[in-house]
Amino acid sequence: MEMLSSKFVAAARRILSSPPIPILCTVALHGRGLVQQLHSSMDAEVIHVTHGNRDALVARVAKSLSILTDTQQPPLPTPVIPAARRMHDKDAV
């Protein structure tokens, strides 16, 4: 829904083009424009969420964010978690 808002897309692009900061977001599995830009970002870590891995991801994402916000550590890729909601995919969240 937000991707249909030109103001949201413009604001997101400004954030992405600014100095690196930790960002946690959900992104559609497929798309053009900003969705494609997020997936192809060199400093992004894309994590596909399924029923089988979703509970374990809480600790993984928390660890990644704590490392990203620790000024003593070198920056790591920003996690990007795509929304994997497809009715025909029984493994999707």
Share of the chain above pLDDT 70, in %: 70
pLDDT at 93 over 50: no
In this structure, what is the dihedral angle of CA atoms 61, 65, 68, 70, given to the nearest 10 degrees?
-130
Bridge partners (DSSP) of residue 81 are 26
pTM of the predicted model, to two decimals?
0.54
Q: Summarize pLDDT for 29-50 with one digit per residue, the tens.
A: 888 888 888 888 767 777 888 8
Q: pLDDT band at 59, cuts 50/70/90?
A: confident
Element (H, E) at 56: helix 54-69
Share of the chain above pLDDT 90, in %: 1
Q: How many CB atoms lie within 10 A of CB 27?
A: 19
